[in-house]
Amino acid sequence: MTIDLAVIGGSGLYNFPGLANASRHAIDTPFGAASGDVVTGDFAGRKVAFLARHGESHTVPPHRVNYRANLWALHSLGARRVIGVNAVGGIRGDMGPRVIVVPDQIIDYTHGRYTSFCDVEGAEVRHIDFSEPYTESLRRELINAAGTAGIAVIDGGCYGATQGPRLETRAEIARMKRDGCDLVGMTGMPEAVLARELALDYACLALVANFAAGCGDEAEISIEEIFAHLAAATAEVPRILEVLLKS
């Protein structure tokens, strides 16, 4: 099977709108079960694969996602380009709710996750270059597609990946800001590095659902507001990907 683009949907994106002739694939991987079936179909005249990172009913928390199985499943179906759609909190002042960012760097604060395909008995140990964690050519395609679609996105930014599922303390966000993070999310790693180990082109569409703790005016972050902002940003994703696939 030839897959022109694979999309991993985060919180708020549990299916791919407009996917025609859809079929489901339960993939058996050496790393266990993926978050759910991979759904393939036609979109914008191309073959697209979609996987809901947290499961289609949002039952898998970020620290329990089987990132290795997810990436392996997409790779085994023939995907070579992957877009990760991630819900994030904004740290930088211009990265407020409903803003879409195409980050170019990552800092990993997660722990206890399987971060490499090398982490199995007898596997070859590979030291990959991760200086640039996202594929620049695919990043540029996303940014250009958004521009053509008339959708504003921010080019670049540092994604800080935290453990979750709880949100962060003000002190943790202050530390991340000092470290140079512009965004905070719970699923950016190890997804990006596993894609690199499989030689997949990988880029991220980061959808800002809220300001991180201490970065906005809210005394408390409301989950209801988070999902309202996320729904508005998520609605723009198919338009961006449609232009990307047609270009």
Q: What is the CATH number of the domain that holds 44?
A: 3.40.50.1580
The answer on whether 187 is annotated among ligand-binding residues is yes
Percent of the chain with pLDDT over 70: 98
Q: What is the pLDDT of residues 155-185, one digit of tens each?
A: 999 999 999 999 999 999 999 999 999 999 9
State the total domains in the chain.
1
d(C-alpha 76, C-alpha 129), whole Å: 23
The answer on whether 11 is annotated among ligand-binding residues is yes
What pLDDT, on a 0 to 100 scale, did the predictor assign at position 2? 85
Least confident segment among 70-84, 108-122, 151-165: 108-122
Contacts of 30 (CB under 8 A, 6+ apart): 72, 120
Summarize the confidence of residues 38-61 as an average pLDDT.
95
d(C-alpha 58, C-alpha 41), whole Å: 22
Matching residue, tokens 């947290």: 54
The answer on whether 175 is annotated among ligand-binding residues is no
- Kindly report the average pLDDT of the chain as a whole number: 94
The band of 247, judged by pLDDT with boundaries at 50, 70 and 90, is confident
The answer on whether 176 is annotated among ligand-binding residues is no
The answer on whether 135 is annotated among ligand-binding residues is no
What pLDDT, on a 0 to 100 scale, did the predictor assign at position 219? 62
The answer on whether 23 is annotated among ligand-binding residues is no
Summarize the confidence of residues 237-242 as an average pLDDT.
96
HSE of 58 in the Cβ direction (CA atoms, 13 Å)? 9
d(C-alpha 193, C-alpha 57), whole Å: 26
Judged against a pLDDT cut of 70, whether residue 74 lies above it is answered with yes
∠ CA 130-89-242, nearest 5°, is: 70
What pLDDT, on a 0 to 100 scale, did the predictor assign at position 218? 67
Q: Which amino acid is at 17?
A: P
Judged against a pLDDT cut of 90, whether residue 13 lies above it is answered with no
The answer on whether 75 is annotated among ligand-binding residues is no
Summarize the confidence of residues 227-238 as an average pLDDT.
92
Its domain, for residue 99, covers 5-246
Least confident segment among 122-126, 168-172, 180-184, 225-229: 122-126
The answer on whether 31 is annotated among ligand-binding residues is no
Q: Which amino acid is at 35?
A: S
Summarize the confidence of residues 85-89 as an average pLDDT.
96
What pLDDT, on a 0 to 100 scale, did the predictor assign at position 191? 98
The band of 122, judged by pLDDT with boundaries at 50, 70 and 90, is confident
